[in-house]
Amino acid sequence: MENKHHIKSPPAGLAVLALVGPSFIWAAEFIGSGEVILSTRVGALLGPTVLWAIVVGVLLKFWIGMSGARYTVCTGEGMIDMISRIPGPKNWGVWITLVAQFAAATISIGSLATAAGIFVHSLVGISPLLSGWLVTIFALAVVWTNLFNVLKIVMSFFVLVVVLGVLYVAAKVFPDVATFFSGLLFDVPEVPDWALSMPGVQANPWREILPLIGWAAGGFASQVWYTYWVIGANYGAAAGRGYGRPADENMLRTMSAALANKIKVWCHVVYADAVLAMIIGVVTTGGFLLAGAGVLRPHELAPEGATVATTLATIFSERWGNFGGMLFLFAGACALIGTQVGQLAGWPRLLADTFRICFPRFEKLEWKWQFRLFLGFFFFTNMIFVYTFGLKPVIMVKLSAILDGLLLTPFQALWVLLGLYVVMPKMLSPEAAQVLKPSWIFAAGLIVAFSVFGYFCIFQMPFVW
């Protein structure tokens, strides 16, 4: 039985635009520490000549995320279940993901708490330690009580404020055409002498560029979460599936060509949705970099340590005075807290999937409590990280960008490639597999992503950390 009634009719023409939505959640999740802190810092230290790093990071991760979401639309299961089906020793990819993502999640969520704590501290004057703890408690309460959708509207408004403000500033300090286009030529500039005396700054420019690439469009987890947001939006075969469930293999094995053609149209919805996320990512991240290059760099300032928030606030205060500085601090705090909430909504899902697959008995626990178990774990680890690294947000954010944004990304590109071209055809009926066969362009993009991120991991990352 095909469960036709579970799969909604796909939109046609411009109606596709009315159903885009996961991209906004995807973008709202990664517009946080990577943009507010890292992009601005890199712009201040290295100038607009490294715009290429943003384009490369966002474009290649967009391709991984879109390709993974295409698999989800066609099969109804998320990326972690796809990885469990990759040929080789049983669940080898899921075990690698479990170990690496446990560490990456702990550090990344902790880094956001420290960064948001610094912003709250700069706003209200209470200690960074207490501020970070309050951020953790607030974010956890929002996710635990499922108030995320309500808060998202409020947070999104202030995120929009800081993004529009930064884009306005970036437009005002926009470099000349020759300088702008030279930033797309893969140049690696030297770190300026004035910056080398600052704590945390070293002569190797890759120490700044790699975290920017790692956090552009989010990391490994963000591409996994995108498949979750697609499930939540009920695209294609994901309609009515819910989280934490493998594909309905019987439905896939008996899928008719007619149903496959219906699902194929949903793939186009994903393409439109993912392209929107890519545009948001490039424009927003590039805007922060140009604002840092145009405002902070002339003053020889770069975000670092306990002054990271007030240094960043210079971007607004130079244009709009003290009110602008306070507005940036408030909106920036909202952006970081919103990202923290998004990560607390996503990482427990990811880890719950890895545990369900690697430890089958874990599945006996109700999904809601699987999710909350990891929320409790992150509550305690956040408290420890804020206490230990509360005054070192930049170091923590850069480390989390490397761990989540680069370390597993080559594997992820390879796994999605195998998922689309090896795993999925075996799950579908022959006629459905023919209809849903991905174009060669997906393979080309994933191979490029695997090669580029593999280069960064092998030839650059060992000399940075």
The pLDDT of residue 13 is above 70 = no
In three-state secondary structure terms, 322 is helix
Question: 339 pLDDT band (50/70/90 cuts)?
Answer: confident
Mean pLDDT highest for which of 19-23, 45-49, 266-270, 335-339? 45-49
Q: What is the DSSP letter of 62?
A: H
Q: Break the chain down into helix, strand, coil percent, rounded to 5.
A: 80, 0, 20
Distance CA 187, CA 194 (A): 20
CA–CA separation, 415 and 285 (whole Å): 27
Dist. CA 265–CA 237, nearest whole Å:
11
In this model, does residue 3 exceed pLDDT 50? no
Domains in the chain (CATH in brackets) are 4-454 (1.20.1740.10)
Cα–Cα dist 354/81, whole Å: 8
What's the mean pLDDT when you consider all of the chain?
90
Q: Region 202-229: what's the mean pLDDT?
A: 92
Furthest-apart CA atoms within the chain: distance in Å = 69
Q: What is the Cα–Cα distance from 349 to 327, expressed in whole angstroms?
A: 33
**Reported pTM:** 0.93
14 pLDDT exceeds 60? no
Question: What percent of the chain is modeled with pLDDT above 70?
Answer: 91
Q: Quick one: average pLDDT of 31-38?
A: 76
Q: What is the pLDDT of residues 296-333, one digit of tens each?
A: 999 999 999 888 999 999 999 999 999 999 999 998 88
Handedness of CA 26, 363, 371, 397 (dihedral sign): negative
20 — phi, psi (to 5°)? Answer: -65, 140
Does residue 252 carry a pLDDT above 90?
Answer: yes
pLDDT at position 183 is 96
206 against 35, higher pLDDT:
206
**Residue in 313, 314, 318, 339 with CA at minimum distance from that of residue 328:** 313
Residues sharing a CB contact under 8 Å with residue 46, sequence separation 6 or more, in sequence order: 189, 191, 205, 208, 209
Structure-block tokens of residue 78 = 């998320």
Higher-pLDDT residue of 464 and 236 is 236
Tokens of 294: 């145009």
| Spatial contact of 434 and 264, defined as CB atoms under 8 Å apart | no
- Range from 154-158, 216-220, 313-317 carrying the lowest mean pLDDT: 154-158
Predicted pLDDT at 465:
65
pLDDT value, residue 4: 44
Residues 6 or more apart whose CB falls under 8 angstroms from that of 354 comprise 80, 94, 97, 98, 101
Nearest to 170 by CA among 294, 58, 32, 328: 294
Which tokens sit at 171? Answer: 């437009």
Position of tokens 């474009």? 59
Distance CA 429, CA 432 (A): 5
Rounded distance between C-alpha atoms, residue 26 and residue 342, angstroms:
9
